[in-house]
Structure 1
């Protein structure tokens, strides 16, 4: 009997010995195949989700009240014939199914259309505003993800204590506060000034203008303080609560009792055993947070007049500028789908049981 094809005979079977295959076609090959099937399924799911986003972005924003042509020509003497000609130029006179097929064909080729309002390609407008959004929300997401993970771990490990009650209470309070209201409150207190508190920060914008070099960097950082605080205050609670809940589920496990029985310090038990096994749900949350980087925060960017994608989306909705609204929606949702896909592909590295 070849060792490459079989292992020693397994005893105790009802009908005699059982041959268990190993070697090239054994468990390792099956696991690799299962992982490839897992990856393929996730990629297929992401592709279906992206197509659903295209369909949703087309039909959803056509129910918004308002006529783009009337809005664009508001206050101008325009004849009915000119209105008809403008509708033909924009393709709004075509049947809905024809508009949809043309939209999907162009979107799949990377053409998101031309903005009604700015008369420029939608993709060019997005790339112009994207750096400001990445800067603001990227810094905020890194801070509140790290803060949520750290405080969530501390709260769970000290479950029921004063620190846990304070952390969860503050987090739930801030999570329930509307971001635009908190932003306005910070502007009133720290930009306008109340009583003895002088105005220390700009009321809005990204820069003062006319500065270069290090002075420009510090000026932009000065403008970022209040919007970043607003995003962090509202955003860290969700990561904290998910991490806390996941770690609490792990704390009653037998392997932690065994680790303590071996004499490991409590800090090592938490850091090397409990936290890694509690990370799966939190990894998804962190990746979703990074998916928010592209979307930014429409309300916060609008309140602080931040020149990013959030403010651009608000301007597009006010017309409504259908190509620009649709393009931004696709970018926002696409970023979330891609980051969720990356989280799914990372799962097997954190827990080998996933994807097998």
Structure 2
């Protein structure tokens, strides 16, 4: 035995004496801590990206709507004959006579505090008008969102699992047709058929609005629900079609996976294989779509709300564009974009919790 080999033998003996490294919570703490740090870095990156996107929206909203070839001050006068001094006074009142860079810095500073100025046409703070119209939008689009998400997931699962059947071909063809139809066109068609009088019962549903204006108590609730029928059907028809197609495509991709074959080989019933194994994995793309659509619950549906004269954010945005009402349009544009960005960021943050492969 050489001198060089002795230390190695001693170290080996010491290692044998000490025994194996401890296992259990202490050993698992290292990988768990690394995964937590990686997830926190991932979340921080997504939040930073959202902040950058929001600032880009501020810049875009300021310059984009100033490209509209119209003088907002003249639009405010409603075509009345006013003197040049009065026009200049209005421009000074709304800060439109200041240099562009000064208007921009004032706009960004005020927007960060939630102050988007005063509406040209309503002569009221923009944020007050947004808060006033928000409940109507949430009522309409929120109801439609819940209905078309549930319907799309359910039908998408059934059609994919019965791929090639008559019901699959019918539901897929119907979904493709509805997804291709413009929502405002479908809304107009429903008004013509069920409101104007071409349908089986003339005037079955009101042509638009949120309420009749002369109901109270439970009768008021029924009146609002009556007004919601056609716009909700319009939104559900288009929204469920998109959800169905995404869910069906995702589930078809999963159906050829080896783990489903293994589950069947173990004796699991077809319904259990679908419910416990295939659908949860196929839900990941649909989950992303649902969060994207969640942002549009706040952003509203401009064309649908306009067609049905719904007093929500979408209809308010259309009124602002018609003038044009720069403070109102800029404020609504920022609110819409913020809702979509926050919904996407929330989806990005939650996605790794559903699929650990993301964010590593």
Cα deviation, residue 8, structure 1: 5.5
| 1:287-309 C-alpha deviation (Å, 9 max, x unpaired) | 11111111111111111111111
Question: For 1:194, which of 198, 206, 209 is the aligned residue?
Answer: 198
CA contact (8 A) 2:193 2:199 kept: no
Cα deviation, residue 117, structure 1: 1.0
Residue 59 of structure 1 pairs with residue 63 of structure 2:
yes
- CA distance in 2: counterparts of 1:180 and 1:45, whole angstroms: 33
Alpha carbons of structure 1 residues 280 and 190: separation in structure 2 relative to 1, 3 Å? same
2:173 aligned partner: 169
Alpha carbons of structure 1 residues 195 and 179: separation in structure 2 relative to 1, 3 Å? closer
Residue 129 of structure 1 pairs with residue 133 of structure 2:
yes
**Aligned pairs, how many?**
343
State how 1:265-304 maps to structure 2 within 5 Å.
Answer: 265-304=269-308
Alpha carbons of structure 1 residues 24 and 271: separation in structure 2 relative to 1, 3 Å? closer
Q: Secondary structure at the match of 2:160?
A: helix
TM-score (norm 1): 0.92
- CA distance in 1: counterparts of 2:199 and 2:218, whole angstroms: 33
| 1:165-219 C-alpha deviation (Å, 9 max, x unpaired) | 1111101111111111111111111112126442211111111112111101001
CA contact (8 A) 2:61 2:330 kept: yes
CA contact (8 A) 2:73 2:91 kept: yes
Question: For 2:314, which of 310, 323, 327 is the aligned residue?
Answer: 310
Question: For 1:143, which of 147, 166, 171 is the aligned residue?
Answer: 147
- CA distance in 1: counterparts of 2:357 and 2:236, whole angstroms: 34
2:40 aligned partner: 36
Alpha carbons of structure 1 residues 124 and 265: separation in structure 2 relative to 1, 3 Å? same
1:16 aligned partner: none
1:339 aligned partner: 343
Q: CA RMSD in A?
A: 2.0
CA contact (8 A) 2:191 2:207 kept: yes
- CA distance in 2: counterparts of 1:6 and 1:298, whole angstroms: 70
Cα deviation, residue 74, structure 1: 3.1
- CA distance in 2: counterparts of 1:221 and 1:322, whole angstroms: 33
Cα deviation, residue 242, structure 1: 1.1
- CA distance in 1: counterparts of 2:87 and 2:219, whole angstroms: 50
| 1:122-153 C-alpha deviation (Å, 9 max, x unpaired) | 11100000001100111011111111111111
Alpha carbons of structure 1 residues 33 and 67: separation in structure 2 relative to 1, 3 Å? same
1:19 aligned partner: none
Bigger radius of gyration = 2
CA contact (8 A) 2:292 2:344 kept: yes
Question: For 1:212, which of 216, 241, 246 is the aligned residue?
Answer: 216
Question: For 1:254, which of 258, 269, 290 is the aligned residue?
Answer: 258
Alpha carbons of structure 1 residues 252 and 196: separation in structure 2 relative to 1, 3 Å? closer
Cα deviation, residue 118, structure 1: 0.8
Q: Secondary structure at the match of 1:26?
A: helix
- CA distance in 1: counterparts of 2:158 and 2:286, whole angstroms: 15
Residue 320 of structure 1 pairs with residue 321 of structure 2:
no
1:17 aligned partner: none
CA contact (8 A) 1:145 1:289 kept: no
Residue 238 of structure 1 pairs with residue 225 of structure 2:
no
- CA distance in 2: counterparts of 1:50 and 1:160, whole angstroms: 45
Consecutive unaligned residues in structure 1, runs of 5 or more: 10-21
